[in-house]
Amino acid sequence: MTTYLADSAETRYVDGPDGERFAYRRFGTRGDPPARDAHAPGIIDH
């Protein structure tokens, strides 16, 4: 079974101005450029 770095990162949440809730995961070292999946923008688990 393959283990991914994102699976071990803590899921954090931030509340939006209209009551919506956004989830994100932070991993790597501070100052690294953010990772983005160009095929699934805005989706953590798919």
Q: Per the domain annotation, does 2 fall within a domain? A: yes
pLDDT reported for residue 15: 93
Q: Per the domain annotation, does 45 fall within a domain? A: no
Token pair recorded at residue 33: 């450029």
| pTM of the full structure | 0.47
Look up the domain containing 5 and give its range.
1-29
Q: Per the domain annotation, does 16 fall within a domain? A: yes
Is-contact 46 39, C-beta < 8 A?
Answer: no
Q: 15-39 pLDDT, tens per residue?
A: 999 999 998 887 767 776 666 555 5
Cα 43 to Cα 27: distance, rounded to the nearest angstrom: 16
Q: Per the domain annotation, does 43 fall within a domain? A: no
Number of domains making up the chain: 1
